[in-house]
Structure 1
Amino acid sequence: MSAVSSRPSVPRRPGARTGLPWWALTLAVVSFVTLLVVMTAPSPAHAAGASPSLAPVLEFLARLVGIGA
């Protein structure tokens, strides 16, 4: 069964706005500046370590999968 669907053709007015709202451009600029600040801000890197209670669980899972000895 096929259905015919069509939208009525509405002619555009000569002065109709087709641009983005003001907040769309503002949001893009704020996001870009925030990412630049995050990338350029110096921050010390810390090593990620597993908590001692999590280590036995990870070792068990590694043995179960066959990764560990």
Structure 2
Amino acid sequence: MSARTHTSPHPASTGRADIRLPWWALALPTLAFVTLLLLILDPADAHAAPAEPAVTRLFERVLQLITR
């Protein structure tokens, strides 16, 4: 008695990926890009910080260590 072979319920691959993104996968990066673009385009809203932030000092220190 021979054993039956199981066939896949999915059709054969056509060579292209069938990936569907949720709506927010495109909407959130677009919203972030537009928000940042608006912040850059309106420099009147930019105010100088009273003191140098720690992140800037850390970034400068890392650059100094890398360029040595």
**TM-score band, normalised by shorter chain:** 0.3 to 0.5
The structure whose RCO (Cα within 8 Å, separation 6+) is larger is 1
TM-score normalised to structure 1 length = 0.39
Structure ranking higher in helix proportion: 2
If you compute each CA radius of gyration, which structure gives the higher value, 1 or 2? Answer: 1
